[in-house]
Amino acid sequence: MPPLPSLSRRDFLATGAKLGAAIIAAPYIARAAASGGGGDTLNVALIGCGEEGRVLLNAALKIPNIRFVAVCDIWTYNRRFGERLLKKFGHDAKPYEDYREMLSATADLDAVIVATPDFMHAEHTNAALKAGKHVYCEKLMSNTVDGARSMVATARETGKLLQIGHQRRSNPRYIFAHDRLLGEAHILGRVTAASGQWNRAVTEDLGYPANQAVPEDVLHRYGYANMHEFRNWRWFKRYSGGVISDLGAHQIDILNWMLGANPASVMAGGGRDYYTNHEWYDNVTAIYEYPTATGTVRATYQVETTTSAGGGYHEYFMGDEGALKMSENPKYTKLYREARAPEWDGWIAKGLIERPGTGEGALPPVKPWEKQRPRLPGARSSTVDVRETAELSAWDIPVVLDKAIHQPHLENFFDAVRGKGRLNAPGEVGFATAVTVLRVNEAVAARKMLEFTPADFTA
């Protein structure tokens, strides 16, 4: 048996001290490793720990090298939720009620995520930018065009990055459809029409635990009339642009992006026809006219908050050779070929499209013991009118997002902060979308068609 190394009393104490220090430091070492560690780690703060803030937190927590160092919310209940959630994932985020205090007290802060009600976006974003932080701000950029314009101006003045939360622009399926299917393959032919919709069933107003209400003086200090409006700000005019902004903004942004143009005009109808305790319209239908590079495209957009019928939420682009139905939900996404269009089999070979394996357009499921049946070309279902054209064939897009839907957009923001790429939805894009969206409410109120000029979209 080899002799054991001799250990003096001094050596023993020194080794013991080192071991003890290592044991005490272990959780911190592990925490740093969990959050990525290293010089590439970004220190991030969240302003607004409500519904959307939590969605963004959960998405951001899946991204390596992000360390949340502060959370801010005027409601203690929300603030504690954010703080505790972050602690669970090893982030030691300091809680603040006032964003000004947070910005001045937090050293080494790289970026701020703003997920507050729309009417506070400009104030929070401008303050963070002026404090030298990069900002990811939820859509709609602001509930006023002036507010949105000030955000673009501040980003330019400070040289800091401003990403607006139109997260579809970072969704790989949307990018694939925009760049490859429409941009490279022009698979739809001449696009002549588009539509978008978000139909959602009736929802109850948000409540709050009776013993957790924000004191009235605090609510008033931060611009809220009462607790009901604080919780349901999306329905009230002083805080928000209503449903066209809350739900429509995401999809109207995609109309602008996919069509490669801003609209020339909009007419719209809508009203508060169902809910009696809200201010904003509960349904809006708009018709835009887009002057695109290949001709005029008319696009309808509908948002309903009293019915989920009509196929949920999607954006639909219709051309003379095909149509593209996009949605964040892959089950609503589909590509259709007009019978008169050139065969699309070549696009399969190039990996641009694929035959549906399941759902619409797919062959009936074959049982394990059955023989595979060949696909019969050009099979038509019954035609009830001579004016009907041949049925469109359904195809799939071979790209599916396998992450939380906000994660790629946050990743794009953090990559841009590190100098590794460009923002997919910078302030200028968010501004054009805000103009496109907010004009709908004006058109509803005016009950007539309103024109845009190109200058309207320039901040």
Partner 1 sequence: MSDSTNPTQEPSRCEYTAAFIILRLFLGLRSFLEGLQKFESNGTYSFKNYYANMGHMAQGITGASFLPLWATRSFAHALGYLLLLLGAALILGVKTRATLVLTGLLYVALSFGLMAVEENEGVAWLAIYVSMIAGALALVRYNRFALWRD
Which residues here bind partner 1, judged by CB under 8 A?
367-371, 374
CB of 364 to partner 1, least distance (A): 12
CB of 370 to partner 1, least distance (A): 7
CB of 347 to partner 1, least distance (A): 22
Nearer to partner 1, 209 or 368 (CB): 368
CB of 411 to partner 1, least distance (A): 41
Q: Which residues pair with 271 in a beta bridge?
A: 283
Nearer to partner 1, 108 or 370 (CB): 370
CB of 368 to partner 1, least distance (A): 3
Nearer to partner 1, 215 or 364 (CB): 364
CB of 376 to partner 1, least distance (A): 12
